[in-house]
């Protein structure tokens, strides 16, 4: 094989490899990143938001009314009945916003948090699942203040569209 043919094949292979790597993830955000958040609405009452965001920043939300009662399935995942959903929508986070979200998750050691922070009474509420780097971790927080969870929820609220207003609430 001639030198020019080898150079040509090397150039094609390099381009394919670089293009593939660039599309696999956005900066430091893992290519398998998935973020699920269920949190209180900023509105008074029993409204909550269910939010999903993937590694490319594509997001989906449902605003729903719990009527004062939250149901879980056998895997401790919150169940939202279709009749409870008030509004649905989608959004797109920019690369920089995705970097901020991932950074706050890492800085607050999300994957090292306990899975269950609950008290019978209180206002603080967040249910979070994060998948990244081949790991999946879930945290359910009701009724007690957990500063790391508060920080993640507040950063998510800052990044989400204004019509999706979530809050962590204040514990007793």
Identify the top-confidence range among 53-67, 106-120, 122-136.
53-67
H-helix segments, 25-131: 95-107
Query: CB–CB of 155/100 below 8 Å?
Result: yes
Query: CB–CB of 127/113 below 8 Å?
Result: no
Q: Rounded distance, CA 47 to CA 117, Å?
A: 21
* Share of residues in the chain with pLDDT > 90 (%): 55
Q: What is the pLDDT of residues 85-124, one digit of tens each?
A: 999 999 999 999 999 999 999 999 999 999 988 876 666 7
Predicted confidence at residue 90, as pLDDT, reads 96
Q: Rounded distance, CA 147 to CA 63, Å?
A: 25
Predicted confidence at residue 144, as pLDDT, reads 84
Buried b or exposed e, range 67-96, using 16+ CB within 10 angstroms: eeeeeeeeeeebebeeebeeeeeebebeee
Predicted confidence at residue 15, as pLDDT, reads 40
Output the CA torsion 162→86→71→67 (10° steps): 100
> For residue 106, what are the CA distances in angstroms to 18, 29, 102, 152?
26, 10, 6, 10
Q: What's the token pair of residue 84?
A: 């409870």
In terms of Cβ atoms closer than 10 Å to its own Cβ (0-12, 13-18, 19+), residue 6 is: exposed
In terms of Cβ atoms closer than 10 Å to its own Cβ (0-12, 13-18, 19+), residue 59 is: buried
Average pLDDT, the chain: 83
Q: Average of pLDDT values for 55-69?
A: 91
Q: Average of pLDDT values for 122-139?
A: 90
- pTM here is 0.79
């Amino acid at each position: 094989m001639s030198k020019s043919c080898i150079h040509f094949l090397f150039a094609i292979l390099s381009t394919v490899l670089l293009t593939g790597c660039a599309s696999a993830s956005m900066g430091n955000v893992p290519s398998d990143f998935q973020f699920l958040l269920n949190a209180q609405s900023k509105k008074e009452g029993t409204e909550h938001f269910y939010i999903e965001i993937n590694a490319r920043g594509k997001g989906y939300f449902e605003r729903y009314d719990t009527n004062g009662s939250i149901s879980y399935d056998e895997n401790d995942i919150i169940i939202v009945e279709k009749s409870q959903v008030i509004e649905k929508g989608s959004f797109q986070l920019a690369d920089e916003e995705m970097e901020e979200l991932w950074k706050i998750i890492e800085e607050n050691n999300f994957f090292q948090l306990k899975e269950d922070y609950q008290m019978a009474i209180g206002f603080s509420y967040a249910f979070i699942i994060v998948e990244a780097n081949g790991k999946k971790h879930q945290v359910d927080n009701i009724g007690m203040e957990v500063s790391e969870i508060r920080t993640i929820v507040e950063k998510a609220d800052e990044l989400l569209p204004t019509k999706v207003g979530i809050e962590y609430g204040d514990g007793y």
